[in-house]
């Protein structure tokens, strides 16, 4: 296979740099989650240390309801990121979803991917490529290759029509994508999940995907990494920059997406990501209907530092989530889903 064009590798590096810039103040920044307020319980009648944050996902029991969401999947710069994430997820028992494997599938630039299972022998790993490729020759065979490349336990197909539309040379013919996803759900011997990339999954689209046979949904709403703003920031000319900039902030906030999708897909595996800054936001997402909480941007800076930084990040997240449970009188996540909110 030929090496990927330098322009593609440059684009991936620019995506990382701009995502890091957006996440610089993510912990303190305002978020749609701020509108969700728990009623405090001054008499929890619980032992904080006995509060359970265990969850389940694709048949696995997890010590905490966290998923490391898709970030980077192939350029050489991603090798250290993927390694740090894999080692940390193995130590923590958390699932890891890699970024897009399109470059790795079509070229030889697969640094940090083929050796991922070596760093995470028991971790639940999820492969990934874009839905737009399903009308450009990708199908079950390519999905199997993506899964086999990292010995994955399942596959994420990501939906990013807005990003493609504002990106110069993006894939903008999406006719037939739903049937392509349905074909994967029927033909792949692993669970197929679908995620947005930060603009939100609507209830109507979620219902169509569940009816198509997907195993789970990540609503990935606004509030986290803004790919329209990123594409505007890396545009080569004023025209593309102006087009992309107008769509900064476009989409469905994660809390709203969770409520609406859960209402129409009551039994679906539902992942809440997009704007999750800390364990309190994770508690809010679970209360609104999420089974699992995904993070990408907030974990990226830690992953670029060290494995230890990733471990510390999730130790803080887990402690925050436990305290949110304790101070709402919730002994576990099932009880947290019933915790009272302040209107």
Q: Which pLDDT value is given to residue 21?
A: 62
341 inside domain: no
Between CA 217 and CA 196 the distance in angstroms is 9
Q: Do the Cβ atoms of 208 and 185 come closer than 8 Å?
A: no
Phi-psi category of residue 309: left, alpha or beta, with phi > 0 → left and psi -120 to 50 → alpha: alpha
**Looking at residue 40, which CATH number applies to its domain?**
3.20.20.70
> What is the DSSP-derived secondary structure letter of residue 332?
S
What does DSSP say about strands 60-62 and 55-57: parallel, antiparallel, or unpaired? antiparallel
Give the residue with greater pLDDT, 248 vs 108.
Answer: 248
276 inside domain: yes
1 inside domain: no
pLDDT band at 70 (very low <50, low <70, confident <90, very high): confident
Q: Which pLDDT value is given to residue 230?
A: 92
309 inside domain: yes
168 inside domain: yes
Q: Do the Cβ atoms of 161 and 175 come closer than 8 Å?
A: no
Between CA 172 and CA 161 the distance in angstroms is 7
- Strands, E assignment, the chain: 55-57, 60-62, 66-68, 96-97, 125-130, 154-159, 192-196, 216-218, 269-272, 292-295
Between CA 86 and CA 72 the distance in angstroms is 12
pLDDT band at 1 (very low <50, low <70, confident <90, very high): very low
- What does the pLDDT look like over 250-265, one tens digit per residue? 999 999 999 999 999 9
pLDDT at 8 over 70: no
Radius of gyration for the alpha carbons in the chain, expressed in angstroms and rounded? 19
Q: Which pLDDT value is given to residue 115?
A: 84
* Number of folded domains that form the chain: 1
343 inside domain: no
pLDDT band at 123 (very low <50, low <70, confident <90, very high): very high
313 inside domain: yes
What count of residues does the chain have?
343
Residues spanned by the domain of 98: 6-24+32-336
Q: Do the Cβ atoms of 126 and 98 come closer than 8 Å?
A: yes
- Strands, E assignment, 125-222: 125-130, 154-159, 192-196, 216-218
pTM above 0.85, yes or no: yes
Instruction: Give me the chain's average pLDDT, please.
Output: 91
> What CA dihedral angle connects 160, 165, 171 and 173, to 10 degrees?
100
Nearest Cα residue to 89 out of 61, 114, 119:
119
Phi-psi category of residue 137: left, alpha or beta, with phi > 0 → left and psi -120 to 50 → alpha: left
pLDDT band at 74 (very low <50, low <70, confident <90, very high): very low
């Amino acid at each position: 296979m030929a090496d990927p064009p330098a322009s593609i590798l440059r684009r991936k590096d620019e995506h990382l740099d701009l995502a890091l810039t957006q996440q610089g103040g993510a912990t303190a920044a305002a978020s749609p989650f701020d509108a969700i307020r728990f009623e405090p319980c001054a008499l929890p009648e619980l032992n904080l240390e006995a509060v359970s944050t265990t969850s389940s996902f694709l048949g696995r029991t997890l010590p905490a309801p966290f998923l490391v969401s898709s970030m980077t999947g192939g350029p050489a710069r991603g090798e250290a990121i993927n390694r740090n994430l894999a080692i940390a997820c193995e130590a923590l028992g958390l699932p890891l979803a890699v970024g897009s494997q399109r470059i790795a599938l079509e070229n030889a630039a697969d640094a940090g991917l083929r050796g991922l299972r070596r760093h995470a022998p028991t971790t639940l790993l999820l492969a990934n490529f874009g839905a737009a490729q399903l009308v450009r020759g990708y199908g079950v065979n390519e999905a199997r290759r993506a899964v086999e490349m990292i010995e994955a336990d399942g596959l994420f197909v990501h939906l990013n029509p807005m990003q493609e539309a504002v990106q110069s040379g993006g894939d903008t013919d999406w006719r037939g994508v739903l049937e392509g996803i349905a074909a994967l759900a029927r033909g792949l011997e692993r669970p197929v999940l679908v995620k947005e990339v930060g603009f939100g999954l609507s209830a109507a689209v979620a219902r169509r995907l569940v009816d198509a046979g997907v195993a789970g949904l990540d609503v990935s709403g606004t509030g986290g990494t803004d790919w329209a703003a990123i594409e505007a920031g890396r545009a080569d000319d004023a025209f593309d920059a102006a087009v992309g900039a107008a769509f900064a902030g476009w989409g469905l906030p994660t809390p709203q997406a969770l409520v609406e999708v859960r209402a129409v897909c009551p039994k679906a595996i539902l992942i809440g990501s997009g704007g999750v800054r800390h364990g309190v936001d994770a508690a809010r997402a679970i209360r609104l209907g999420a089974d699992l909480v995904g993070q990408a941007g907030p974990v990226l800076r830690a992953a670029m530092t060290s494995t230890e930084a990733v471990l510390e990040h999730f130790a803080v997240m887990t402690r925050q989530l436990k305290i949110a449970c304790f101070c709402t009188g919730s002994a576990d996540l099932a009880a947290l889903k019933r915790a009272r909110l302040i209107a």
